[in-house]
Structure 1
Amino acid sequence: MSAAKTKAQSIINENGVVVFSKSWCPFCKASKDLLAEFGAKFRAVELDQMGSDDGADIQSALQEITSQRTVPNIFVGQKHIGGNSDLQAKKGELPALLKDAGAL
């Protein structure tokens, strides 16, 4: 397993909610805003602000893990949710998912 894949997997495993994001991305902002609106504790990993090639390597590793290359790439309770539209579509069940993930 590549170092980036190991790093991505450990971030996913150690956090109830993770948003792999880019700081300039409006869809990422919408996802983080929705989670904040629910009062969720989450880790945002800004791939564009990581040193050297780490962000690009992690984004490639996430594609291997999830088959999704785009951001945001969201995990709740170590389960892949998808992107912003997937998260927005789960708005109704989000409180229960966040509670189960220990993020509320």
Structure 2
Amino acid sequence: MSAHVLMYSTAVCPYCVMAERLLKSKGVTEIEKVRVDLDPAIREAMMQKTGRRTVPQIYIGETHVGGFDDLSALDRAGKLDALLNPT
């Protein structure tokens, strides 16, 4: 069973699309997407939680991965699979 994936995103976000594509290539079938462009309060909550203003902001389980660049770096370092598939 793969870990729960939460992604804060907006409707028009190429990095969100790339993050989703990478996650799906790793076998993730469900991504809980939270659209921060629909409600300023949701964006504010994301900023409080992550300390960042940009999207995507990705959580795998309880771990804040960060944005697409962070996700991609984690994959290149060989650490993404272990985070997605905890034992």
Q: TM-score range by the shorter chain?
A: 0.7 to 0.9
3-state DSSP class of the match of 1:60?
Answer: helix
Identical positions, percent: 38
Structure 2: where are the runs of 5+ without partners?
A: none
1:45 aligns with 2:34: yes
Name the counterpart of 1:36: 24
Partners of 1:17 and 1:78 within 8 A in 2: no
Alpha carbon RMSD of aligned pairs, Å? 1.7
3-state DSSP class of the match of 2:59?
Answer: strand
Q: TM-score, structure 1 length as denominator?
A: 0.71
Between the aligned partners of 1:34 and 1:23, the Cα distance in structure 2 is 18
- Between Structure 1 and Structure 2, the one with more helix by share is 1
Structure 1: where are the runs of 5+ without partners?
A: 1-14
State the one-letter code of the partner of 1:64.
Q
Name the counterpart of 1:27: 15
Partners of 1:74 and 1:82 within 8 A in 2: yes
- The alpha carbon displacement at 1:86 in A equals 0.3
Q: TM-score, structure 2 length as denominator?
A: 0.83
Greater RCO structure (CA 8 Å; 6+ sep): 2
Moved over 4 A (4+): none
- The alpha carbon displacement at 1:59 in A equals 1.2
- The alpha carbon displacement at 1:42 in A equals 2.1
Between the aligned partners of 1:89 and 1:58, the Cα distance in structure 2 is 27
